Chains A and B, each alone.
Chain A
């Protein structure tokens, strides 16, 4: 990881002024008298710089509590199967586990336990998080985890190309098309915008959700029946697919791009805009980056005129194993590791690179924003107007497959939008009927 001098000075100052203080204030939340000393906790986490950073905070916790914590890392591609195996086997191998939003509903009560009483006892206020970051763990039967690794989408754009053309970052989808066309005309070989339209793992829906919610549509009604084929859904899909089919401002290959292809296209300098998660920030800071940080700007995703930005969020929680024998010790650790102070100490540490931030106070923190070019403040703005999130139902993931297939059929085979969405809705109804 390349760190420039400015960052190093800022980081050192942050570490000096606040870096150590947050960790010590995080320890202040620990129950006095080491009541859980001697307990051992095992944590199952997805491989990431954030959880590697968490494991570095364990020594101070162990010293203060006498609780031993071990992290076991599993690559993203294998984690869902691992969680499923833990659930089916009724295992208590892991006391605390990380899980992604769409994976959580089937795990509720079978692998993850509700923690509302613990939250109340420990006075953990869920309002410290943006609402869009807490929905994945909230169910009618309770709260099943604390948000720990959440991503929001931003519109990344080539500031240098926009400045050259006298363009401003778009705030509406119409403006996005307009500036995309202009940049593409003025810069041969550079596409206006890159979006993943390939169906892999439903990645062609990640940007579409923002169109859908912005247009006033939704995925399901209050009774859990599909309504993405409503007039608003059809308009959103029309606008979303027009970008590639009608306006033709996407790169060749975008119809089969997955998220990684799309992001790589932008960072190879082959497109002028990309709507993608904030964690790509670190790619700009790589020493051999083809597109440098000073060439790139970021803004909340556009929306429809008069509507605030809505961002589709990706949420991960720390969930407590329903079978754990160390509940109090695990909650002690969860309280500590999920604290805002720990999060900030990682964000301002020049030796760390993760950008993930889930607390309002850190999203608006001057030190955090100084390090990441105000990215978190911009994200906070988008989160203030984000009221929608993907539904918490076990049937949602199969429905994603049906919808992703429909979207791919529209883009690659010219299937009329109402027909494709109606077919997906019929398939969704069948899936929901089977899912119970």
Chain B
């Protein structure tokens, strides 16, 4: 047996597994998105309709573009705030100090929590009547008493973003700490000897060297933000109105609540297209030579 054939045999189970769990469902759902499949009518795949389901989204559905806008706002806010917070945490934790390992352990705890549970907890904490956040904010700013955070499109989006940042920032902080630790300290010391301020050292020396890790983190977080689902279900249910309905949640609703699986598959494929482009960028950055 040649080495090449032996390698193929060893790789075959992995290929089969990926083909069965990823390729097959993706091809099937693409095929579904080109057909009528409404379980309210029939459990069988209906007529071939070409790109009609995609046209339904882009042209006829009154909610679709609103959902796209909400998704874009959420991703931009969520990714930028998560990465900024993570960078801040990473810079602070990188410095040696008493109790560093305890702080590092504690700070990862939010990431260990389930997003669905986080949504429920934040929903409770934001209740204007008895919620811990709402009461604390009202104690500091009395004018904020009785503000219903989840009834305002702006505040509910901020709450959703805050919960997600709280959940993900520790993970990315650890990722960026790895990147920061890999930067040769001599480059920063040299800049300081040349009279550069801390800000200049960070901006002109640290940040450019951290950029590859940072870009990977941004792409990765964008993928995670686009997929957000659990916390929306448990915290805002996509409301008020449709102000926190993102693409993933929208696709779920069309498919599993409305049974319009043909259309849901098309919406899911639009999301998949965006995710594919981001993943492609991630792969290019992560594995570039």
B242/A405 in contact, CB under 8 A = yes
Within the assembled complex, what's the spacing in Å between the Cα atoms of A106 and B42? 8
Interface membership of chain B positions 238-249, coded 1 if the CB is closer than 8 angstroms to chain A and 0 otherwise:
111111000000
The 8 Å CB contact of A436, one of B41, B63, B146, B156, is B41
Whether the pair A434, B263 counts as a contact (CB closer than 8 A) is yes
Report A279-308 CB contacts with B as 1/0, cut-off 8 Å: 000000000000000000000000000000
A-chain residues with CB within 8 Å of residue B204 when the two chains form the complex: none
- From A200, A395, A430, B60 is in contact (CB under 8 Å) with A430
- In the assembly, what is the distance between CA of A54 and CA of B127, in Å? 38
Q: Which of A105, A261, A408 is B240 in contact with, Cβ under 8 Å? A: A408
Whether the pair B62, A413 counts as a contact (CB closer than 8 A) is: no
**Contact indicator A405/B60 (Cβ below 8 Å):** no
- How long is the Cα–Cα vector from A21 to B42 in the complex, in angstroms? 46
Stretch at the interface among B22-30, B147-155, B162-170, B172-180: B147-155
A321, chain B: closest CB distance, angstroms: 14
Q: A106-B259, A270-B129 are in contact. Are A198 and B237 (CB under 8 A)?
A: yes
Question: How many Å from the CB of A206 to the closest CB on chain B?
Answer: 15
A58-97 toward B: CB 8 Å interface, digit per residue (1/0)?
A: 0000000000000000000000010010011010000000
A271 to chain B, nearest CB (A): 10
Whether A87 and B43, one on each chain, are in contact in the complex, defined by CB atoms closer than 8 angstroms, is: yes
Contact among A81, A412, A431, A435 with B256 in the assembled complex (CB-CB below 8 Å): A81
A256 partner, pick from B56, B240, B257, beta carbons under 8 A: B240
A413: which B residues are within 8 A, CB to CB? Answer: 153, 240-241, 243
Contact-residue size bin, chain A (C-beta under 8 Å from the other chain):
35 or more
Stretch at the interface among A39-47, A152-160, A210-218, A247-255: A247-255
Q: Are A434 and B241 in contact (CB under 8 A)?
A: no
Are A87 and B63 touching (Cβ within 8 A)? Answer: no
Interface string of B125-163 (1 = CB under 8 A from A): 001110000000000000000111111110010000000
Contact residues of B between 35 and 71, Cβ < 8 Å to A? 38-43, 56, 60-63
Q: For residue B239, which residues in chain A have a CB less than 8 angstroms away from its CB?
A: 198-200, 256, 405, 408, 412
Measured between alpha carbons, how far is A435 from B253 in the docked complex, in Å?
15
Q: Could you tell me the distance between the alpha carbons of A81 and B252 in the complex, rounded to whole angstroms?
A: 12
Q: Return A104 CB to nearest CB of chain B, in Å.
A: 11
Is A397 located at the chain interface by the 8 A CB criterion? yes
Q: Which residues of B contact A84 (CB under 8 A)?
A: 39, 256, 259
Q: Which of A88, A200, A253 contacts B39 (CB 8 A)?
A: A88
Would A411 and B151 count as touching, CB distance under 8 A?
Answer: yes
Q: How far is the CB of B247 from chain A (nearest CB, A)?
A: 16
Residue B78 lies at the interface, judged by CB distance under 8 Å to chain A: no
**Contacting residues of chain A (233-268) with chain B, CB-CB under 8 angstroms:** 251-256, 258, 261, 265
A427 neighbours in B (Cβ, 8 Å): 61-63
The residue of chain A having its C-beta at the shortest distance from the C-beta of B138 within the complex is A252
> Are B148 and A252 in touch, CB under 8 angstroms?
yes
Contacts of B198 on A, CB cut-off 8 Å? none
Q: From residue A257, how far is it (CB to closest CB) to chain B in Å? A: 9
Cβ of B55 to closest chain A Cβ, rounded Å: 12
A55 at the interface (CB under 8 A from B): no
A434-B38 in contact (CB<8A)? yes
Q: Is B101 an interface residue (CB 8 A)?
A: no
Inside 8 A of B39's CB, which chain A residues have their CB?
A: 84, 87-88, 106
Given A252-B146, A401-B257, the answer on whether A435 and B38 have CB atoms closer than 8 Å is yes
A231 within 8 A of B: no
Kindly provide the distance from the CB of B145 to the nearest chain A CB, expressed in whole angstroms: 8
Interface residues of A in 396-436 (CB under 8 A from B): 397-398, 401, 405-406, 408-409, 411-413, 415, 423, 426-427, 430-431, 434-436
User: Are B148 and A256 interface neighbours, CB within 8 A?
Assistant: yes
**How many Å lie between the Cα of A344 and that of B127 in the bound state?**
41
Cβ-defined contact, B62 with A426, below 8 A = yes
B241 touches A412 (CB 8 A): yes
* List of A residues within 8 angstroms of B254 by Cβ: 398
Cα A110 to Cα B44 in complex, Å, equals: 11
Which chain A residue has the least Cβ–Cβ distance from B127?
A: A253
Query: Is A53 in contact with chain B by the CB < 8 A criterion?
Result: no
Interface pair B152/A412, CB less than 8 Å apart: yes
Report A-chain residues with C-beta under 8 Å of the C-beta of B149.
256
Residue of A nearest to B153 (CB): A413
Min distance, Cβ A422 to any Cβ of chain B, angstroms: 11
A364 to B10, CA, bound (A): 73
Instruction: Establish whether residues B237 and A201, one from each chain, have CB atoms under 8 Å apart when the complex forms.
Output: yes
Q: Are B148 and A409 in contact (CB under 8 A)?
A: no
Q: How far is the CA of A409 from the CA of B129 in the complex (A)?
A: 22
In the complex the two chains form, is B151's CB within 8 Å of A199's CB? no
A30 close to B (CB within 8 Å) = no
For A119, list chain B residues within 8 Å (CB).
none
Contacts of B148 in A (CB 8 A): 252-256
Q: Which residues of A contact B256 (CB under 8 A)?
A: 81, 84
Contact B153 A394 (CB under 8 A): no
Q: In the complex, what residue of chain A is closest to B263 when comparing beta carbons?
A: A434
Chain B neighbourhood of A415, CB < 8 A: 241
B 252-289 binary contact with A (CB < 8 Å = 1; else 0):
01101111100100000000000000000000000000
Interface pair A251/B129, CB less than 8 Å apart: yes
B residues in contact with A394, CB < 8 Å? 40-41, 259
A75 CB to nearest B CB, Å: 14
From A106, A261, A397, name the one whose CB has the most chain B CB atoms within 10 angstroms: A106
Contacts of A270 in B (CB 8 A): 129
**Closest residue of chain B to A199, judged by CB?**
B239
- A residues sitting closer than 8 Å to B (CB atoms) are 81, 84, 87-88, 90, 105-106, 110, 197-201, 251-256, 258, 261, 265, 270, 394-395, 397-398, 401, 405-406, 408-409, 411-413, 415, 423, 426-427, 430-431, 434-436
Q: List 7 A-B contacts (CB under 8 A).
A: A88-B43, A198-B237, A405-B239, A406-B241, A423-B62, A427-B61, A434-B263
- A270-B129, A405-B63, A427-B61 known; 14 new pairs, CB 8 Å cut-off, are A81-B256, A198-B150, A198-B237, A199-B237, A199-B239, A251-B129, A252-B147, A256-B239, A398-B257, A411-B151, A412-B153, A412-B239, A412-B240, A434-B38
